[in-house]
Amino acid sequence: MSNKMWGGRFSERPDEIMEEINVSIDVDRHLYAQDIAASKAHAAMLAANGIITASDAKNIGKGLDTILSEIGKGGFEFKRALEDIHMNVESRLSELIGPAAGRLHTARSRNDQVATDFRLYVRDIVDETDAALAAFQQALVERALEHAGTVMPGFTHLQTAQPVTFGHHLLAYVEMAARDRGRFQDARKRLNESPLGAAALAGTSFPIDRHATAKALAFDRPMANSLDAVSDRDFVLETLSAASICAVHMSRFAEEIVIWTSPLVGMIRLSDKFTTGSSIMPQKRNPDAAELVRAKTGRVIGALNGLLIVMKGLPLAYQKDMQEDKQGAMEGFAALSLAIRAMTGMVRDLVPDEARMKAAAGEGYATATDLADWLVRTLKMPFREAHHVTGRIVAKAAEGGVALHELPLKEMQAIEPKITKDVLGVLSVESSVKSRTSFGGTAPKNVASQAKSWVKRLEKERKLG
């Protein structure tokens, strides 16, 4: 027996393996809300243009609302024999309202239907991700304001470089998240065009109003080319690209949390809420939430790579390969969502060891650049000469096993006689961070100002909705 939804041309039922490889309902069932919304808009447009009767449109609308409720309450039976969400909805609609259900598919195809559904779905994902990133930023900003003056080591090559503040470090991720949000918003602008009405690939001979359905579904406009409308998934690729960059940002921060919580470093602590123990070692406190955020990045990047490979050789227009566009993307978006929420929780949970941070900030002669700057500023040395002199002084301190600010003044003067006791005022880690007052610098007053600015900006965004 052939499929009653499309099987007029076929006299035999598909092979069992064919049914298994062809079915997509296990994945695209997640598009049910978008599919029903698009169908309601389509039915209303058909009636408005005299293509179906107002009575049929009304019955279709009521039937679709019933199906939406059934699915939402878990009372809907998804049938794999019906392949996908579109056929499952249409079949149930037929049970509810009879032959009028068959009029719903007038002037459309599953090709433009699925493209519309998936655009609506990805648009919803973008909006949800933006809200999650805003909450992440809020958590970071609040902690940055709290720790605007908390000194910690800044690193390059994972080696102690110069003192910074913990608040400054946290604000770096606020800026990254802002760019992530910008990329998602850019993707949203480009995806917000409606494929509905493009039909299979060539448009339709029915007098439809694609602008009306686009407006009803809050799209900016209908897509201008019917071939393009059904055959490209660049809107998913672009959103996954933004998601991949965002996931990398989350992973970098997660890696830092793993390092900082190690007893060898000991700069922060996480509570029981975001750590786990060992089945054999009672003393262990493992930063598993951070480690899993790190790992989730692979799922997001993998989803992007997978879809790029699916799409790379497809001629226009729709190809069945494109059925593989959803599962990886949905899993990737879900992984990112979980990662962002986990990172937000850890930001709120973490407790910095301020004494350890301050001590670590002074290790490795981290204020050497401050000494070189003092030589330039006070003794008018060319920077390269000051760099050389400072290097010799650092070597002398290392030889004696003392910190830079503990090196006797006379030993500094043996290397550069013009150095005065005033130099000692710039060699502490507190003095170092306070001096970094250039725009974007780590001076506590800068950090507090930037954090307060972000508080206002995020509050304004919330009010604007």
Taking alpha carbons only, the member of 256, 317, 240, 335 closest to residue 291 is: 256
Report the alpha-carbon distance of residue 128 to residue 10 in Å, rounded.
43
Amino acid in position 414? A
Judged against a pLDDT cut of 60, whether residue 6 lies above it is answered with no
Q: 348-401 pLDDT, tens per residue?
A: 999 999 999 999 998 889 999 999 999 999 999 999 999 999 999 999 999 999
Report the alpha-carbon distance of residue 208 to residue 131 in Å, rounded.
36
* pLDDT for 1: 38
Q: Is 105 helix (H, G, I), strand (E, B) or coil?
A: coil
CA dihedral 345, 347, 353, 358 (to 10 degrees): 170
Judged against a pLDDT cut of 50, whether residue 255 lies above it is answered with yes
Judged against a pLDDT cut of 70, whether residue 7 lies above it is answered with no
The reported pTM is 0.93
Q: Which residues are catalytic?
A: 157, 278
Tell me the Cα Rg of the chain: 30
Poorest-confidence range of 68-77, 275-284, 326-335, 426-435? Answer: 275-284
CA dihedral 264, 270, 274, 279 (to 10 degrees): 50
Question: In this structure, what token pair is assigned to residue 168?
Answer: 């400054």
Taking alpha carbons only, the member of 81, 86, 77, 80 closest to residue 32 is: 86
In the structure, what pLDDT confidence band is assigned to residue 5 with cuts at 50, 70 and 90? low
Q: Partners of 221 in the beta sheet? A: 193
Report the alpha-carbon distance of residue 328 to residue 156 in Å, rounded.
36
Judged against a pLDDT cut of 90, whether residue 13 lies above it is answered with no
Q: 402-461 pLDDT, tens per residue?
A: 989 899 999 999 999 999 999 999 999 999 999 999 999 999 999 999 999 999 999 999
**What average pLDDT does this structure show over 130-143?**
98
Judged against a pLDDT cut of 50, whether residue 161 lies above it is answered with yes
In the structure, what pLDDT confidence band is assigned to residue 284 with cuts at 50, 70 and 90? confident
**What average pLDDT does this structure show over 80-99?**
96
Report the alpha-carbon distance of residue 446 to residue 57 in Å, rounded.
61
Report the alpha-carbon distance of residue 168 to residue 361 in Å, rounded.
14
Q: Partners of 348 in the beta sheet? A: none
Question: In this structure, what token pair is assigned to residue 56?
Answer: 């049929």
Is the separation of the CB atoms in 400 and 394 below 8 Å? no
**What average pLDDT does this structure show over 331-338?**
98
* pLDDT for 11: 65
* pLDDT for 442: 97
